[in-house]
């Protein structure tokens, strides 16, 4: 049954290829799993290994031949679907949005991927740039290396939830603990303990015996795979590939269970829900800019968002179910493409929203033999791999988590931005609106998990500096949502932390039905849409809002807040001190 399904799918993707000439790709969003790294169970530093860098470089070159330059033939299997207007020569960072977490093996993966996507280019860029006054040529170093702009975010920046929604999510951690202490799980652990113990003397001899159990299934698999690639005595052991297969099976089973919805709800799959949101957001930017902005979005992270997405989007229960219940291989990528079938002679006009289509493709690992294959989402049939934009948004909207505040609530996260958001929600329901002091603020105004998250002294100092700076520029932080009147600055979001770009849209974010038509996706009161920080020179949005001062845009996008270095996330135990409390207060009177 399974091989038949696969053949059908391959045939389908070949059909899509034949049609490729009459199709225009307007944008793509790609999530890529990082490459091989030094395993967590060995001694650090846990950087990307050369194998991992090559895996990602390969993934990048493969996408280059699909989206940029069909003649680069990275793999004969890849059919071209060039993105309309995407620069084919020199990298144009204003056309792309690249988001990575700050883990070095993930940001390193992003860099390696981009080296494959836009390889060194030893060509004259422009006369003025390249030629010196004395008529000598000056190229970029490393044979014309191209410099990508990569947004590397830490958990201090709420944008990281789009690619790693499971991190810093307290309820996700609690749910994992709960699952692991359940009876089913302990039975499994007992069942497999014999297998794990049998590797104590050989493969796992360097590890602490206490770590060798089903509870660490993923970490042990990662360790073993690394040994397989780098330790010749294990590689040459005749049983090694059987051992790897079994470890991979157990790791997949365990992680799939831990990252998909369970009887307690969707929190285990939260990383898939936030990923779905950023995909819709990025496509909405493509649509609202008529195909000018965010042509290619590249997201980098770990496997959790993938497993969660497999489950939420019904890939793990659809026609290819058996394949989508296991861990992806390093360098695997999920691609979403937005395209249309234009009428003859109208190929460069952006189509109406109801003429847009989306498809999902997956590439498992980075072997040359591994093609990009399209699969149906949302329990659709094999012949429905291409779906209309409206259907896509409805399908994604059914499980996507679009608001940062929803994430904070679902997670009860103790991150700094959640402090601000959760507190703001509480205080705006305070009808008297009188200045709240730490004394009269209700204890539960801040989430319980919070206690002492922040090194308060550092934070308050940063806030004071920030406040002074903003006041100087005439920006008004209004943290009492209810009180604000129609001032333009305040219209965009809570507390000015997470407000929005572009306020020229009428509609707010109302859920799935609304999404399709509301291409602008201005998430009123929501920080969601602020994933865009289009402070790019010459970008489409600059033209729309030519008068905006740089810092104001940064504030709207959350950048001014989130890029500040709060220096530590200490567990100092300083109590429920709210970082956006009183130091910001005087600004209310500005």
Ligand X SMILES: *[C@@H]1O[C@H](CO)[C@@H](O)[C@H](O)[C@H]1NC(C)=O
How many helices and strands in the chain, by DSSP H and E?
21, 8
Torsion of CA 273, 274, 275, 281, to 10 degrees: 120
The binder of ligand X chosen from 23, 237, 535, 572 (CB under 6 A): 237
524-563: contacts with ligand X (CB under 6 A): none
Q: What is the DSSP string of 176-220?
A: HHHHHTSHHHHHHHHHHHHHHHTTTTTTTTTS-GGG-SGGGHHHH
Measuring CA to CA, how many Å separate 537 from each of 89, 94, 95, 117, 560?
A: 20, 8, 11, 22, 18
The binder of ligand X chosen from 7, 22, 143, 233 (CB under 6 A): 233
| Stretch touching ligand X by CB under 6 A, among 15-23, 301-309, 325-333, 347-355 | 325-333
Distance separating alpha carbons of residues 178 and 159, to the nearest angstrom: 28
10 Å CB burial of residue 249 (0-12, 13-18, 19+) is middle
| 412 CB-near residues (< 8 Å, 6+ apart) | 170, 171, 447, 448, 449
* DSSP 8-state class, residue 137: B
Q: What is the DSSP string of 58-117?
A: HHHHHHIIIII-GGG-S-TTPPP-PBTT--SSS--GGGEEEEEES-HHHHHHHHHHHHHH
The binder of ligand X chosen from 100, 329, 459, 519 (CB under 6 A): 329
**234 lies in the site for ligand X, by CB under 6 A:** yes
**203 lies in the site for ligand X, by CB under 6 A:** yes
The binder of ligand X chosen from 158, 160, 172, 324 (CB under 6 A): 324
Least separation, in Å, of the C-beta of 74 and ligand X? 8
**22 lies in the site for ligand X, by CB under 6 A:** no
Distance separating alpha carbons of residues 384 and 15, to the nearest angstrom: 12
The binder of ligand X chosen from 72, 388, 426, 503 (CB under 6 A): 72
Q: Which is nearer to ligand X, 195 or 575 (CB)?
A: 195
Least separation, in Å, of the C-beta of 132 and ligand X? 5
**400 lies in the site for ligand X, by CB under 6 A:** no
**198 lies in the site for ligand X, by CB under 6 A:** no
Least separation, in Å, of the C-beta of 18 and ligand X? 21
The binder of ligand X chosen from 43, 136, 431, 432 (CB under 6 A): 136
**71 lies in the site for ligand X, by CB under 6 A:** yes
**362 lies in the site for ligand X, by CB under 6 A:** yes
Which helix (DSSP H) or strand (DSSP E) does residue 554 occupy?
helix 550-557
| 386 CB-near residues (< 8 Å, 6+ apart) | 16, 357, 358, 359, 374
Least separation, in Å, of the C-beta of 577 and ligand X? 46
The binder of ligand X chosen from 1, 132, 352, 488 (CB under 6 A): 132
**323 lies in the site for ligand X, by CB under 6 A:** yes
**277 lies in the site for ligand X, by CB under 6 A:** no
Q: Which is nearer to ligand X, 198 or 517 (CB)?
A: 198
Q: Which two tokens stand for residue 381?
A: 């049939």
**206 lies in the site for ligand X, by CB under 6 A:** yes
Distance separating alpha carbons of residues 203 and 190, to the nearest angstrom: 20
**55 lies in the site for ligand X, by CB under 6 A:** no
* Residues, the chain: 590
Binding footprint of ligand X, residue count (CB under 6 A) = 24
10 Å CB burial of residue 480 (0-12, 13-18, 19+) is middle
**78 lies in the site for ligand X, by CB under 6 A:** no
Which helix (DSSP H) or strand (DSSP E) does residue 174 occupy?
helix 170-180
Least separation, in Å, of the C-beta of 6 and ligand X? 9
**580 lies in the site for ligand X, by CB under 6 A:** no
**485 lies in the site for ligand X, by CB under 6 A:** no
Least separation, in Å, of the C-beta of 148 and ligand X? 20
| Stretch touching ligand X by CB under 6 A, among 31-39, 200-208, 282-290, 292-300 | 200-208
Using CB under 6 A, list all residues that contact ligand X. 71-73, 132, 134, 136, 202-203, 205-206, 227, 231, 233-234, 237, 323-324, 326, 328-329, 344-345, 362, 364
């Amino acid at each position: 049954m399974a091989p038949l399904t696969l053949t059908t799918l391959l045939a389908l993707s070949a059909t899509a290829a034949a049609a490729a000439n009459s199709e225009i790709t307007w944008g793509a969003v790609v999530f890529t799993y990082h490459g091989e790294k030094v395993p967590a169970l060995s001694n650090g530093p846990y950087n990307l290994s050369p194998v991992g860098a090559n895996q990602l470089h390969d993934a990048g070159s493969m996408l280059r031949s699909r989206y940029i330059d069909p003649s680069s033939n990275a793999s004969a299997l890849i059919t071209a679907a060039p993105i309309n207007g995407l620069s084919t020569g020199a990298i144009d960072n204003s056309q792309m949005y690249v988001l990575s977490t700050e883990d070095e093996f993930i940001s390193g993966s992003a860099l390696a991927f981009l080296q494959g996507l836009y390889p060194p280019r030893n060509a004259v860029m422009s006369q003025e740039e390249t030629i010196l006054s004395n008529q000598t040529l000056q190229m970029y170093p490393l044979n014309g290396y191209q410099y990508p702009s990569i947004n590397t975010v830490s958990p201090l920046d709420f944008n990281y939830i789009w690619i790693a929604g499971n991190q810093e999510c307290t309820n996700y951690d609690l749910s994992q603990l709960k699952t692991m202490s359940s009876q089913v799980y302990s039975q499994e652990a007992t069942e497999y303990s014999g297998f794990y113990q049998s590797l104590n003397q050989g493969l796992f001899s360097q590890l602490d015996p206490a770590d060798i159990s089903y509870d660490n299934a993923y970490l042990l698999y990662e360790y073993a795979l690394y040994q397989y690639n780098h330790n010749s005595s294990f590689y040459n052991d005749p049983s090694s590939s059987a051992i790897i297969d079994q470890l991979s099976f157990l790791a997949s089973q365990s992680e799939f269970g831990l990252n998909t919805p369970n009887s307690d709800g969707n929190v285990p799959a939260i990383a898939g829900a936030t990923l779905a949101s950023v995909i819709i957001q990025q496509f909405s930017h493509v649509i609202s800019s008529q195909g000018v902005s965010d042509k290619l979005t590249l997201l980098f992270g770990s496997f959790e968002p993938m497993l969660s997405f497999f489950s939420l989007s019904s890939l793990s229960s659809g026609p290819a179910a058996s394949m989508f219940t296991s861990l992806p291989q390093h360098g695997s990528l999920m691609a979403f493409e937005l395209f249309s079938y234009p009428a003859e002679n109208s190929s460069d006009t952006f189509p109406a929203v109801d003429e847009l289509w989306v498809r999902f493709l997956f590439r498992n690992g980075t072997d040359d033999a591994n093609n990009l294959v399209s699969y149906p989402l949302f329990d659709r049939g094999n012949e429905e791999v291409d779906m209309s934009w409206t259907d896509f948004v409805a399908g994604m909207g059914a499980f996507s988590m679009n608001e940062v505040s929803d994430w904070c609530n679902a997670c009860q996260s103790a991150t700094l931005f959640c402090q601000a958001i959760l507190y703001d929600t509480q205080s705006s329901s305070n009808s008297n609106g009188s200045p709240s002091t730490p004394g009269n603020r209700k204890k539960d105004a801040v989430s319980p998990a919070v206690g002492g998250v922040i090194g308060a002294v550092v934070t308050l100092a940063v806030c004071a500096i920030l406040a002074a700076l903003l006041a100087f520029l005439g920006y008004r932080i209004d943290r009492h949502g209810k009180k604000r009147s129609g001032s333009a600055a305040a219209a965009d979001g809570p507390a000015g932390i997470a407000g929005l770009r572009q306020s020229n849209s009428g509609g707010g974010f109302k859920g799935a039905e609304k999404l399709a038509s509301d291409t602008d996706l201005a998430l009123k009161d929501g920080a969601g849409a602020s994933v865009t920080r289009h402070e790019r020179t010459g970008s489409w949005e600059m033209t729309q809002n030519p008068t905006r001062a740089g810092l104001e845009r940064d504030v709207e996008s959350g950048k001014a807040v989130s890029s500040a270095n709060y220096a530590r996330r200490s567990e100092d135990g300083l109590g429920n001190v709210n970082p956006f409390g009183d130091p910001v207060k005087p600004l209310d009177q500005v």
